[in-house]
Amino acid sequence: MDEMKFHVGERFPLPVPAEKGFTLEILDSGLTAFLQLPGLADEKVDAFNAGFSSYNFWESSTPVPVAVWVFNFSEPFAPVDFQFDARVVDPVHLQNFLDTSKEIKGDITFFLLDGDILRGKRTCRLDSAALALFHKTIQKQLSLSYTHEEYLRSCQTILRFNPGALARFGSRYRHMPERDV
């Protein structure tokens, strides 16, 4: 994605999530968050562009360990949560992400989408301690045998809580915008 150009206000050059919601993926460029919000109000775009003050990471204690990230954007955008299953990621992208022999891939890129229109983009540096925990959860997921249905049942347990409540779980990290890319 480094060579691909992304222009706010124009069509997004990659496939977009078909449904409203938040998706976390690992692509060839690293950790990538898609926020698909059709009919997005300008106030929410402004809150997204203002960034987030902190974020949380935790691993659920459900039968299938789910990696959960919560990014604490301000109102009216509000906290945004992502669940992650390493078993659905392209194995090459996943191995590149986990390979820390050269450097830890410590950035996350957020794409705010309104249908197929890019409304906002930000790339943020994540704390190395949070990334280490994320890597451990990924390794744990890869070492277990579970079905997609079992993963979804574990997610349903987590989704009983709203993002604000989820933000109280796990380790909290202060976002330091001066470290962003």
Mind listing the pLDDT tens digit for each residue in 117-174? 999 999 999 999 999 999 999 999 999 999 999 999 999 999 999 888 888 888 999 9
Percent of the chain with pLDDT over 70: 96
Residue 11 lies in a domain: no
Total domain count, the chain: 1
Predicted TM-score (pTM) of this structure: 0.91
Residue 153 lies in a domain: yes
Quote the tokens at residue 46: 């402004």
Read off the DSSP letter of residue 178. Answer: G
Residue 139 lies in a domain: yes
Instruction: Tell me how far apart the alpha carbons of residues 15 and 115 are, in angstroms, rounded to a whole number.
Output: 11
Nearest alpha carbon to residue 24 among 84, 64, 81, 98:
84
Residue 170 lies in a domain: yes
Residue 16 lies in a domain: no
Domain span including residue 147: 21-179
Residue 1 lies in a domain: no
Whether the CB-CB separation of 144 and 67 falls below 8 Å is answered with no
E-assigned strand segments in the chain: 21-27, 30-36, 52-59, 67-73, 79-84, 107-114, 117-125, 171-174
